[in-house]
Amino acid sequence: MEIVAPAKINLTLEVLGRRTDGFHEIKSVLQTIDLYDRLEVEDGPDLTVECDDPSLQNESNLVWQAALALAEHARIRAHARIVLHKVIPVGMGLGGGSSDAAAALLALDLLWGLGFSFDELAGVAAGVGSDVAFFLCGGTALASGRGEIVHPVPPLQSLPMTLVCPWETIPDKTRRVYSSVTPGNYGTGRRTEELLQILNGGRFVPESMHNGLEEVCLGLFPGLLDLKKEVSRAVASVSMVSGAGPALFCLPTTEVEHGGIADALKPYAARVYRVRTIGQRQDIPR
């Protein structure tokens, strides 16, 4: 069977404070976009995970961890051959690894004939990674807790956007970003609630987007501030860092604006994608 794994952006991300377990409490509106990895899943005597990105072909891959977690929950031996084809840039704040893990859970639930409910799969997903539960459905959703508590919200209409990914990230990115957060970066959740009210009214206002980590990201990632300035010169739309960065996005953008961004960023050799926001996943592995 085959299944796709979409990327995501954060329309809002507010860090509310540090929890006693060492994680940070967040509130975020997440949105999937039509930039996909692809998984091929078939039966096999043992568990194997292959990937066309050699750096991901090891047991730290979240696909591997998701398969083991699901098998342990079901009290069976993990057995499958999974081939992961990567398109979503790694380490950019787009949730590719978490999305791959969620796709693996959905496919293996069918392959192994488990028939688990969404809530049961979400429980397994939460143990694999903070964003994994969101990707079981995708679309537009409110994430809270450390990101594992997910509630669908009125969907954002399909909108075109430009996604900009630098070629380089930083080692141990997520930990370094969150460890650099100070109380001055904390939010109250107000910005997220304001966006939810707008979405509940059937509208979307790009100026309502917010990322409480953006200041931290612009200080940590070499060259990211210059990229953002170039994007701001090329397009009238609001640009923002996604998640813990360093990917930037503008939403919405026209074809002309997208071309302007691509031209402006040629000296930086950044990857520039023309994508759209998408609703909840409808695909079922076959």
- Residues marked active site are found at 8, 131
Long-range contacts of 48-51 (CB under 8 A, 24+ apart): 48/80, 48/81, 48/82, 49/82, 49/84, 50/81, 50/82, 50/83, 50/84, 51/83, 51/84, 51/85, 51/86
d(CA 145, CA 155): 21
Residues 140, 150, 286, 64, CA torsion sign: positive
Phi and psi of 228, rounded to 5°?
-65, -40
The gap between the terminal CA atoms of the chain, to the nearest Å, is 5
**Beta-strand relationship, 210-211 and 160-165:** unpaired
Give the three-class secondary structure for 99: helix
Q: Burial-class residue 89 by CB neighbours within 10 Å (0-12, 13-18, 19+).
A: buried
